[in-house]
Structure 1
Amino acid sequence: MEKKIPKKWELVVCRIKKINPHSVLAYLVEYERMGLIHVSEVASRWVRDIREFVKENQYVVCRVMEANTEHISLSLKRVYKEDRTKKLNEFKRERRSEKLIEMCGRLLKKSAEEVKKEIVPVLVEEFGSLTKTFEMALRKPDLLKRKDIPVKWREAIMDIAKKNYAEKTFAVKGELRLITSRPDGIDLIKKALLKAKSQGLEVQYVSAPKYVLIGKGKNYKEVESKVREIGEGIAKGFEGEASFELEK
């Protein structure tokens, strides 16, 4: 079977294989192909020595600039910190899920190669990834029953999921500053913080006039958006001096 080719602009996890004076050879782990990072795509600032930015065998996240069967051009500098963190987390969770599906295979006396050929393509086709498969096994087990998953595999997946799998929870923090000289200022601040709590955020007191709003959830982008919206809304509606900023 011919290996797949990544799409342009896609984020991919790579392992640095060789560092040349003006380029880097990187192995695209998810696609089992080699790609090249030109020195001009290593960093936004001038690069005197590529080894100041990457090391051999290091795992990095790259953006695909061009891709065909003959050549894949990659960029390091065009990956934002948030996207890099999210992609690496997804990669680590998928690798862990691969270990879990192998555990399912051992329950059924299947070799790693048999697991890879027999069930992995089916699960990826149905759910998009092995990680999502185990998430569904925990959150919506009935969905596995409705899908075209053999009973023996379904039972093994649900058993392993209950014993070994836990969904990732993200925490997003933001600093809220509230200052007022009004006589009822304390009540105004309490009211503002209570509003954050009523919308599902945790509130931590740092030191006047600083407070930390914390949101938690399974989807980082959704949690980040929620914390930003609530924090900025409180700051905008506060009767006094106020500001809100997400923590980096």
Structure 2
Amino acid sequence: MSVTLGSEWPSQDELVIAVVTEILDHGAYVKLESHGGKKGYLPISEISQGWVTDIRRFINPGQRVVLRAIRVNPQKGQIDLSLKRVTPSERNAMLKAWKRRRKFSKIMEEFSNELKLQSEERNKILSILMSNPDPLGVLERAASEGPNALESLGMDSSIAQKLAEYTKRIVKVKEYSGKLEFQLQTSKKGGANLIMDALIELENFLNSKNVRNRVYVVAAPRYACEIVSEKPKSINTLLKEIPAKLKDIAARLGLKLTLDST
């Protein structure tokens, strides 16, 4: 099973992903990977803004390129393309998006094979996922948040559960981290135990927030806490809450707190 990405024919002015298959004196032929392997033609006049004497200075057979469709005629089987009308930022964004779509295609192919899905059920799942501009992003959320991320799109709960479990095994979810350093000091008797109690209380507070964390000694009286989460908002929120929590702990235990100014 393969997942077809994009419609069979590109629309005029649409950006496409293509592989150069043949170079001639007057232009080059390409295969549109983003549109089912359709054949397209890149005339020499559309390769560069300047004068082109040697096409191979710009493209070579087997090279993957981002092109813009400038003339499309399905009746004649004609797709004319341009390289010079694609900006560097458009090219980079398109290649990045294409890599994500290819990764999505591979994941869904392997998932369908593992579950031995029938065509009708497979296509229904793909229809739901590909209604989103970034279907891989949907799978990444499912790996992080569970089947609810799929069920909210209308996917059957049984399939959503299986797909979420599958993606969690193979999709690397991006994690975010934050760190805060601080000082705790006291001249009280048993001060070391008081500071240890403060660090344990801070660790318990972080554990209650469902984030991975580490509270440790940098070099007494300097300490630090690190937090890791798949949700950047959780990191930002906690980095604002931790100072207030430390102030509360220090005040109750009679410790002097100095927060990192950075």
Q: Could you tell me the TM-score, scaled by structure 1's length?
A: 0.59
Identity rate, percent: 27
Which has more radius of gyration? 2
Residue in structure 2 matched with residue 109 of structure 1 by the alignment: 116
Of 68, 71, 87 in structure 2, the residue corresponding to residue 63 of structure 1 is 68
Q: Structure 2 stretches of 5 or more lacking a match?
A: 1-6, 176-231, 233-262
Rounded to whole Å, the distance in 2 between the matches of 1:114 and 1:57 is 35
CA contact (8 A) 2:19 2:33 kept: yes
What displacement does 1:98 show? 1.2
Distance 1:46 1:168, change over 3 A: farther
Task: Check if 1:52 corresponds to 2:57.
Answer: yes
Report how far residue 4 of structure 1 moved.
Answer: 2.7
1:81 corresponds in structure 2 to 88
Shift in Å at residue 167 of structure 1? 5.8
The correspondence for 1:153, drawn from 137, 155, 159, is: 159
How far 1:42 moved relative to its partner? 0.7
Contact 1:26/1:34 (<8 A) preserved: yes
After superposition, give the CA deviation of every residue in 1:71-102 in whole Å (9 maximum; x if it has no partner). Answer: 11110111111111111111111111111112
1:105–1:115 contact (8 Å) kept in structure 2: no
TM (normalized to structure 2)?
0.56
Aligned counterparts of 2:101 and 2:25: Cα–Cα separation in 1: 33
CA contact (8 A) 1:138 1:161 kept: yes
Does structure 2 conserve the Cα–Cα contact (< 8 Å) formed by 1:66 and 1:73? yes
Residue 185 of structure 1 corresponds to: none
Separation (CA, whole Å) in 2 of partners of 1:75 and 1:122: 33
Structure 1 residues 7 and 132, CA gap change in structure 2 (3 angstroms): farther
- Aligned residue for 1:74, secondary structure, equals strand
Q: How many residues align?
A: 166
Write the distance in 2 (CA, Å) between the matches of 1:85 and 1:108: 35
